């Protein structure tokens, strides 16, 4: 009974959500695309000559946005979940923390990367504190990987949750990057503790 109530509540929220409606009209795979759009509008993350790695890319809306709006970007996306192909993108199904997938990524780009983006989050358990901690670990993994693969002036964008591990992420980012901002897009739901860290220029 409780599960049915939650499902109905989720369906009703989706129907009322202007970003869900807009994503369907514009042919994007999820509403998350508008978070990246806001981030890019504010921080000018991408240009037509960028090389970009999309971590935790499924279902692919961030990759869709990049390919639609920037003509010459070299883009690779990776997720442990297989998702429908997007034209002119190198897609990998696997865990980016494993060496064999790191090698695939580096072989594709054949050089350091301009931008690493991550919208990764764990599947929710109902325990908000636990979910926040586990998602923060993904962010830290992505950040440390970015240190290995980014160009000196590269940029790193990742989802973070405001919670018990927030300060740890900020402190780690300050060790790796010279410039760090935290931003909550309008497309992030008000009740969500989600924000994004935008970091640039390796130390």
Read off the pLDDT of residues 160-201 as tens digits, 9 standing for 90 and up: 988 888 999 999 999 999 999 999 999 998 888 899 999 999
Read off the pLDDT of residues 36-52 as tens digits, 9 standing for 90 and up: 999 999 999 999 999 99
71, two tokens: 């003509």
Catalytic (active site) residue 159: yes
Read off the pLDDT of residues 83-125 as tens digits, 9 standing for 90 and up: 999 999 999 999 999 999 999 999 999 999 999 999 998 776 6
What are the E-state strand segments in 18-176? 51-55, 74-79, 90-93, 113-118, 150-161
pLDDT score of 121: 84
Residue 37: alpha-carbon gap to chain centroid: 12
Query: In the predicted model, is pLDDT for residue 21 greater than 60?
Result: yes
Domains of the chain: 30-202 (3.40.50.150)
Catalytic residue among 44, 159, 178, 186: 159
Element (H, E) at 201: strand 194-202
């Amino acid at each position: 009974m409780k599960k049915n109530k939650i499902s109905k509540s989720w369906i009703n929220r989706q129907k009322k959500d202007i970003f869900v409606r807009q994503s369907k009209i514009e042919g994007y795979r999820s509403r998350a695309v508008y978070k990246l759009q806001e981030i890019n509008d504010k921080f000018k993350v991408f240009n037509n000559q960028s090389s970009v790695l999309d971590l935790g890319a499924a279902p692919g809306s961030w990759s869709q946005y990049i390919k639609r709006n920037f003509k010459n970007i070299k883009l690779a996306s990776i997720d442990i979940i297989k998702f429908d192909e997007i034209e002119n993108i190198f897609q990998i199904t696997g865990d980016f923390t494993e060496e064999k997938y790191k090698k695939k990524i580096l072989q594709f780009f054949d050089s350091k990367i301009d931008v690493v983006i991550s919208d990764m989050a764990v599947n929710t358990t109902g325990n908000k504190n636990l979910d926040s901690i586990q998602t923060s670990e993904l962010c830290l993994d992505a950040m440390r990987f970015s240190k290995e693969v980014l160009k000196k002036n590269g940029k790193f964008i990742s989802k973070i949750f405001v919670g018990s591990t927030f300060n740890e992420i900020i402190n780690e980012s300050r060790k790796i990057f010279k410039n760090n901002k935290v931003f909550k897009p309008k497309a992030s739901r008000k009740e969500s503790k989600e924000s994004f860290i935008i970091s640039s220029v390796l130390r």
